[in-house]
Amino acid sequence: MYDFSFLNVRQMNQELVQKTMDRRRMLKLFGSAGLAVAGVAAVAGTTRAASGVSAAELAARYHQEDQAALAPGPREDGTNLWKVLVGGMDMETAIEYHGFFPGEITVNAGDSIWFAYDMPMFHTVTFPVAGEMPALMIPDPEITRPAADAPPKLIYNPVLMFGAGGDVVDGTQLVSSSADVFRDPTAPLVFTFSTPGTYDYVCMPHASVMQGRVVVQDAGSALPQDQAELDAVAAEQIAVLHADGLFQIEQYSTPVQTAKHDGSALWEVVVGAGGASQVRVQRFLPGDLTITAGDSVKFINRA
């Protein structure tokens, strides 16, 4: 948990939108402030809103680009363009899905995959080299000899904000997008797979649960599934996660109280649910709670 009372968020936003701001300075700004991932996303969202683009407009723009920018299927050069969904959220229930859908896809050498975001959710698409996952935070390279009794000063990995490599995945170098909140939402994220092999990938902020795999066959090989079949698999995977989210909403929506010695009651409210899983319920449970004056409420973070 972080106490944000000492942060001058307005000043941070102003520094973020300076076009001439040094990239390393921005990374240090986030790292030294001790911002959690959600905090970085919140600041980024505030900055975008200040520039005249609201969160709702960003989400709509992502959706419009999904519909209009690209058309998965065969291309004139004999290769294929495929589509994989990156995360997602049901706004009505506030159930968020941390995954790639479908989680595994088989393509041919030369094919490309469009990693499509339904809305910006602070995810990356990261292909490590030899399974070596880039760290989310790294020691500040400007501090070469920290004090012996002091912990190292950390900054966010530049990959998180600026990406790495190009747009071709062949296993020889780290290839990664920046987090979606730092990307141009009108620019589709497309990677081309030039070399046969198996390529595991992750989302850097959610690497423990958000993982995928691309199997690349020789060019011209028979493909096990077409895009429609892959879309059906993706829909099934999301449906399973959604059902889990609904179960957790039901589980935590019943008010829980404990009698205290002074005659008052201690109530429990869950701040999100899901824990270390692919499902996050981003709401208070129960959403409405009526108590008596003198009672207490304990907020428990289960997200």
Q: Where are the domains of the chain?
A: 9-50, 55-246, 253-301
Q: Which two tokens stand for residue 278?
A: 């692919």
d(CA 100, CA 88): 9
Decide which of 213 and 27 is more confident: 213
42 vs 156, more confident: 156
Q: What is the pTM of this model?
A: 0.76
CB of 209 closer than 8 Å to CB of 54 = no
**pLDDT of 5 strictly over 80:** no
pLDDT of residue 21: 40
Q: Are 115 and 98 in contact (CB under 8 A)?
A: no
- CATH placement of domain 55-246: 2.60.40.420
Residue 161, pLDDT above cutoff 80: yes
Is-contact 44 16, C-beta < 8 A?
yes
pLDDT for 145 equals 66
* Average confidence (pLDDT) over 218-247: 95
Higher pLDDT, 37 or 301: 301
Q: Quick one: which of 133, 73, 139 has its CA closest to 107? A: 73
* 143, pLDDT greater than 80: no
Average pLDDT score over residue span 192-216:
96
Query: What confidence score (pLDDT) does residue 49 get?
Result: 35
Rounded mean pLDDT, 57-82: 72
Compute the distance between CA of residue 206 and CA of residue 41 in angstroms, rounded to an integer. 14
Q: How confident is the model at residue 276 (pLDDT cuts 50, 70, 90)?
A: confident
With both helix axes pointing from N to C terminus, report the angle between 23-33 and 37-50 in degrees, rounded to the nearest 10: 130
**174 has a pLDDT exceeding 60:** yes
Mean pLDDT of the chain: 80
